[in-house]
Each structure stands twice: as structure tokens, then as C-alpha cells.
Structure 1
């Protein structure tokens, strides 16, 4: 801002100076009158070449003679001797890549935060205000001098003492002697024999076996309104229900997810069957089909009031207080959470059973089955899992469970 104001004042002063002092003759000492323009020219990095062109100062040319020697060599080759050496055979192998595909459903994808990069650029310029206008200004001059009279610029250039540019033209003469040399060549040639043995490209794929489907998806559950232990449900013996027929039975593709306050009702897995949220038992049974080799984890959490977990033969028949794999009892952690792990081979069927007991107060029950890679394959939000079935279609790999009320050992 200060530089612009300064240039404006200089331009205004020059307007009056250029009209008061004609600057046509180089013999007249007018430098004091155009000192301001001279100062402006000194601010211009290319003042000398500009003024030289502006004043039409011609370049003075001089001539200089130089002599250069450029020898020409004549090469006469001698006899070439070639020695051939055959190296040992090198065998290379084409190694193919291996692709592995897994059948366990992947974890939920995370949304990537979108990032938006913005860039701004600013450009600034400094110019003499448009309000300063001097008649007879010079066109084609740098912006620094665009509002200055041509006569003032001409005088200021002369005051700078711009030297006359010179140019030297070199005229060369070349002396060309002839040199003769002899080149002896001894060459050694090595031959390497390479044999490439391609291998068979093999892609290893871990198959995704699934159990046959014949109306057998989901698990079975039974509801019992008969809970003879009352508020002492922690003393419940699941074997009591071996020979007791349920008040309601159905199938579900999900387990757990029950969380209701005291005095409310519980919708039994979306079947439309609503039951009082106190003094009842839910008995679940089914098979898990192993997708891959590894340890499968069964977990019940936040039990209110009690949960028994059975895996293997005891889950099929004969479940009791003596053979459960995990037990969770209300109401404080870690006692209200329990888990068990079972190692399976791909294609194995494993029977499992969860018996949940509720007395008075709130009713809370959660359950999950986790695959070896940590993927949850059964919980309260599972929909039509291909790997949770009631029985196998062949009737022998995973036989149907006995009828409810006829499960004695």
C-alpha cells in the first residue's frame, strides 16, 4: 500500500515536470528534472536492456579470428580373435501363486471418512491508481512506467548512462592433420544356456461346504410356564423338563436378545406368542455345521436369571446339573456371563442346547456363537443362517432331536 502511494506521488509530480521541461536534446542537462523517473527505472530490474531498446542504441560489432585443430584419425583394424566359452546350464522355474478363499462371512464393513481437500490461491498486484493519468504516456512500457510520459522516460534513460552494447564475431580457421593408428581387437564371447521349466499353475481354494437344506434351518425352542422353583430359580434342575411337555413350541433363526422390565411381556422370537415376563423357562436346541477347522465359541451374557449351556452328546439327550459346559447366574459380572469352546473340523455337526430360566423381576438373556476368525454366526439378529440347522437331511450325520417331553437319558 505504501509503495503504491509513493509511485502515485511520483507519477503526479512527473506530470507537471514533463510539461515544464522538454526533453528532446541529449546535450541539455535535464537529469535533475527527471530524477523521480530515474529512481523508478532503478527499481526496474531490466532497466538497461529496456532503455537500450527504448533509445535505439545500436550494438557495436567487432571481429576476432581463432584457429582450431581438428585431427582426423584413420583406424586400421588388425585380425579379430574370438574365444567362445559355454557356461554351465542354468535352470529356472516358473513358480505360480496360490489363492486361498474362505467361506466364513466377513465382518461388517466400516465406512471410510470422506475427506475433502480444498486449496485456495490468491494473487496480488501493485499498480498506480487509475485516478493518476498523464497525457502522452508511453504504450508498451513496463507497468512501473505505464503512466509516465515518453519524453520523461527517454530523458531518464539517457541519465542512466546506458552503455553501448557490443558484439564480437569470431571467425575460425581449422587445421586438419591426418593421424593413422592401428587397432588390435581380441574379443571373448561367453554363451550361457538357460533352460526354463514351467510348473503347473495351481490355485488352492478352501471350499465353502454347506449342510443340505430340507426345511431344517433354524433351531427349535420350547416355552414352559411351569417353573416350580419360584424365586429360587438358581436351584433349577434342567433335567426336570425331560418328560414335561411344553406350553408352546416353535423354531427360530435367532437366539437371545431378550431384555424386558418386570411385569411386562416377552414376544417369543417374533412368533406372535407373547408370554408374561416372569416365572418361565425357554429350552433351545439345534446343530451348528462347521464351515472351517478351528475353535467355535459359545457365549451367554447378562443372564437374568440363569442359563445352562450344553455341547455335544449331553445337548442331544441327558442334559442335567452334572454335565453342562457353562452356567451363568444372575446378577453381577462375571457370574452372569459364561462361555465354552469346542474344536470342530470342516463339515462336522455339533449339537448344542441353551436352557434359560426366569423368576420375578426383569428378564434378560443374550447368546452368541463365534467362528474361529471371530465372526459372529448366531445371535439375536441372525437371519436364516446356512450353518444353524435342526437336523441333517441324511438323518444320520445330525439326527433329529427326540420329541419335547420325551428326552429322558
Structure 2
């Protein structure tokens, strides 16, 4: 109990250092969803680029043959001359000179990369799949309650390097993330949790551009333990009568070199649906998205096992 109390106090202290932004949910038409891509920047400060340029220079020589007194004399001149009372034959010769110029171009220096925490096979999110019997019949999907799953044993548990997706109810099952099995793609719920490692201090942004049917978000101590429907810092919920997708955003400040717990819960009701979920660092780097790449700043626990301890097992949460 003493260890748990110390952990909770540490998480609360960490959360107290963050300034909470205004969370809000804004409805947008589902048809406005666009796939987002995040190109991987390339930068190599040690690279030297050599550019070869070829120039062609053409020179002309007039070869003058002069016949004098039955003899022949050949001279090379830079212009065509005519000698009186003689027969003049003019020939033209073209020569090509190639000059190679090799300027050296060095790209601008790269920005300093923020150092990630130690890695020990701990990257990504833990996630769990549950059946969900709640239908969406109103403007806020009020029948869906994420905190009711705390003691529910999930059907499947896994890890993922990316989050979000679109799920089409075609009457057949399909995979979720990189799972090796198929799942029912309507009436289900997904629970995710991890730590965000803030190697740089500043304001971090969580964006939920699209939710069909619902996404709830928690950060700080409540994301680890004590999370409820009411204390979620952001909620994006589908308006079923008007068929308008949910949308939400949340900003919070994190000191440098800090692990912050984060949890989000997705609920899918009848028909097809899906969600998108992104986290952006103060530098503008997207560290969580639907891209299938492990971010070094998203971990399930710290390597020492105590600074950011593993989350309680799904189905045994508090």
C-alpha cells in the first residue's frame, strides 16, 4: 500500500505541474474526414552533395590553303583571308572542349533531436478489446460508459505502435491494429493506455478530429487510476440523430524529462464508425497518430519499472 500511495502522490504532483487547457467537443459532418499522412523528415548534417556541371565551348578555326607559283603552303589563321590572283580554298573545323565544374553544396544543419528515454521493448500503447452492447440513439451516446469496463475481462489484449482507424460493418469480422485475429467491427470498445515522455517542456496538444461513436480522454494521475466518465478531460461523441461526428481537443503543459500517463477509450455502436487521435509535441512533432511507427516518446512503462510503473492489468483497474 505504501508503494501505491507513493506512486499516486508522484502522479498527482506531476499532474499539478500541468496547466489544463479548455477541452471542448465540436460536431462536424462525418463526410469531412480526410486521411492524414505524416511524411518522415530526412536530414543528414554530415552529407555532402556534389553537383557536376558540364559546359560545352565551341571554337572555330579557318584553315586557309593558298596556292602560290605552283607550290602549296598551308597556314592556320583565326580569320578567313583572300589573296589576290590566287585560288583560295576555305575549310571549317569544329572542336569541342568540355569543362567540368564541381561545386560542393552542404545542406543546412539539422535541428537538435530531443533525446528519448531508455528503451527496453516497452514502446507503444497497451490496448484491450471488449464487447459493447450500448446503442447510440441520442446526441451524446449517453448509453456508453467507459468506467463500467474497469472490472470487465477483455476479449483480447495487445500492444500497438499506432492508434485509430475506420471500421466498416460489412457483416464480417476483421483485424484491429496488428492483431493476429479478427473481431466483430460493431458494438465493441477499445481501451488504450501508455505514458508520454516529455523530453521537451511545453504545451502538448491532443486532437480527436473524428469520433464515431465516442472517444474519452484522461491524462495525469486519473489516467492511471481513478478515471471516470465525469473526470475525462475531453469527450468526442457522435450525434446520432443529426449524423454528425464528434470532435475534441485538449492542451496541457508538461515539464521536461517527465512521464505522463494517458488513457483514451473508444466506443463503437451500431453500423460502421472509427476515430482518429493525434498527440503533438511543443516542437510540432506528431508523436501519436495512425502511422504504423513506434514513437520513442510513447512507452508502456519506464525501464526501471518505478519512474513510470506498468499500468494495472485490464479488468483489474481502479
TM-score using structure 1 length: 0.50
SS class of match (2:135)? coil
Q: 1:279 to 1:148 in 2, by over 3 A?
A: farther
SS in 1 for 2:166: strand
Pairwise mapping of residues 140-289 of structure 1 onto structure 2 (< 5 A)? 144-146=80-82, 148-150=84-86, 208=115, 210-211=117-118, 213=120, 215-231=121-137, 234-235=141-142, 236-256=144-164, 258-263=165-170, 265-289=173-197
Q: Secondary structure at the match of 1:377?
A: strand
SS class of match (2:126): strand
* Counterparts of residues 107-122 of structure 1 (less than 5 Å): 108-109=41-42
Structure 1: runs of 5 or more not aligned: 1-105, 152-204
2:280 aligned with 1:373, yes or no? no
Question: Secondary structure at the residue paired with 1:275?
Answer: coil
Q: Deviations over 1:293-341 (max 9, x none)?
A: 2222222222222211111122112322321122223379996332222
Moved more, 359-368 or 342-351: 359-368
Q: 1:110 to 1:399 in 2, by over 3 A?
A: closer
Instruction: Choose 1 or 2 for highest CA Rg.
Output: 1
CA distance in 2, matches of 1:240, 1:364: 21
| Cα distance per residue 1:191-223 (max 9 Å; x no partner) | xxxxxxxxxxxxxx998351463x533221111
* CA apart distance, 1:270: 0.9
8 Å Cα contact 1:265-1:274 kept in structure 2: yes
Task: Indicate if the aligned counterparts of 1:299 and 1:367 stay in contact, CA closer than 8 A.
Answer: yes
Distance in 1 between the 2:311 and 2:149 partners? 14
Change in Cα spacing, 1:145 to 1:312, as seen in structure 2 (3 Å) is closer
Question: How many Å apart are 1:283 and its aligned residue?
Answer: 0.8
Higher RCO (CA 8 Å, separation ≥ 6 residues): 2
**Aligned equivalents of 2:234 and 2:312: distance in 1?**
23
CA 1:364–1:278: 2 relative to 1, 3 Å: same
- Counterpart for residue 403 of structure 1: 313
State the TM-score, normalizing by the size of structure 2: 0.63
Judged with a 3 Å threshold, the aligned counterparts in structure 2 of structure 1 residues 226 and 107 are, in CA distance, closer, same or farther, namely closer
Question: Normalized per residue, which structure has more strand?
Answer: 2
The CA RMSD over aligned residues, in Å, is 4.0
CA distance in 2, matches of 1:333, 1:342: 30
Distance in 2, Cα, partners of 1:211 & 1:369: 20
Tell me by how many angstroms 1:363 deviates: 2.4
After TM superposition, give the deviation of residue 280 of structure 1 in Å.
0.8
Q: Would the aligned equivalents of 2:212 and 2:245 in 1 still touch at CA under 8 Å?
A: no
Equivalents in 1 of 2:244, 2:51: separation in Å? Answer: 42
Query: Which moves more between the two structures, 396-405 or 299-308?
Result: 396-405
Q: Which residue of 2 aligns with 1:339?
A: 249
For residues 119-177 of structure 1, the C-alpha deviation after alignment (integer angstroms, 9 at most, x for no partner) is 6666678999x9xx9986984687544464259xxxxxxxxxxxxxxxxxxxxxxxxxx
Structure 1 294/107 Cα, relative in aligned 2: closer, same or farther at 3 Å? farther
**Which 5+ residue runs of structure 2 have no aligned equivalent?**
1-38, 45-49, 88-111
1:207-255 Cα deviation digits (max 9, x unpaired): 8351463x53322111111232355572122112122221211222221
Q: Distance in 2 between matches of 1:136 and 1:380?
A: 92
* Cα pair 1:300 1:368 within 8 Å, conserved: yes
After superposition, what is the alpha-carbon deviation per residue over 1:82-123, rounded to whole angstroms, capped at 9, x for unaligned?
xxxxxxxxxxxxxxxxxxxxxxxx961289xx9997766666
Give the paired residue count: 246
Instruction: Summarize the Cα distance change of 1:227–1:369 in structure 2 as closer, same or farther, 3 Å threshold.
Output: same
More helix per residue = 1
1:276 counterpart SS class: coil
Q: Which residue of 2 aligns with 1:304?
A: 212
Contact 2:116/2:197, CA 8 A, preserved across alignment: no
Partner of 1:358: 268
Distance 1:210 1:278, change over 3 A: same
Structure 1 residue 359: deviation in Å? 1.7
Paired residue secondary structure (1:239): helix
Pairwise CA distance, 1:355:
0.7
Mapped to 2, the partners of 1:379 and 1:266 lie a distance apart of 21
